[in-house]
Homo-oligomer: A and B are copies of this chain.
Amino acid sequence: MELLKARIREEGRLEGDVLKVDSFLNHQMDVELLDAMGAEFARRFAGSPVTKILTVEASGIGIAVAAARHFGNVPVIFAKKTRSKNLDGRLLAAKVHSFTKDTDYTVQVAARYLSPADSVLILDDFLARGQALLGLLDIVRQAGARAVGCGVAIEKGFQDGGRLVRAAGVRLESLAVIAAPEKGQIRFMDV
C-alpha cells in the first residue's frame, strides 16, 4: 500500500532492526491513514464474508476500529493480555511468546463473543515473529469459528512470522513488508 509505505519512508525511524512508527501508528495515530488502511483491507478481503474482527490490545485496536466501518460495521473484539475485570465467564486463551521481551504472556477472549457461526478477520499493527497472530488464530480455532485471514499494517519480511502464518494455511495480507535494514536504510520487499 503506497500511502503507508510513503509514510514509513517519511517518518519511520530505524533503531537496529526495530522500526519506529509511533508518530502515526502505535502511539500517536493518524486516523485518516487508519481509515485508508481499513479500506485497503476491505478491498483485499472483498468476497470473504467477515462477521467479526479480532485484534489484540493495545496497538491493534485503532486499526481494527477504523477497518470495521469498511466491513459493514462488524463488531471488533480486542484480546486482553492481562487479567481484567472486563473478562469473565469462560475464556479462550493462548500463550504467546514475546521474543522482544523474552517473556510469555497470555491472550484472552471471553468465549461468548466467538461462535462457530463466525468468520473472523484478525488485524494487528506489526508482524515480526508471528506469535501474537498464531495465538489469536488458536483462539479462533478453539471457538470453532473460521479464520478468514490475517491483515497487518507492517510485516517484517526478514523475520519468520509471515512464513509461519502462511504455513498454517492462513491468508495473510500485509500492507507494507520491510526487508532487513541495510546501512540504516528502510527497504521494502514483496512477499
Instruction: List residues of chain A with CB under 8 Å of any chain B CB.
Output: 15, 18, 20, 22-24, 26-32, 34-35, 57-59, 61-62, 65-66, 68-69, 73-78, 80, 84-88, 100, 109-110, 113
Contacts and interface: CB of A to CB of B under 8 A. Distances in A.
Given A57-B57, A65-B61, A88 B31 contact: no
Total copies of the chain: 2
Contact of A27 (B31, B65, B110): B110
Nearest to A53: B31
A31 to B, nearest CB: 4
Given A61-B61, A61-B62, A110-B22, A86 B30 contact: no
29 contacts: A15-B88, A20-B85, A20-B86, A22-B87, A22-B88, A22-B110, A23-B113, A24-B75, A27-B78, A27-B84, A27-B86, A27-B113, A28-B76, A28-B77, A29-B65, A29-B77, A31-B65, A31-B69, A32-B73, A34-B65, A35-B69, A57-B57, A57-B58, A61-B61, A61-B65, A62-B62, A62-B65, A62-B76, A65-B66
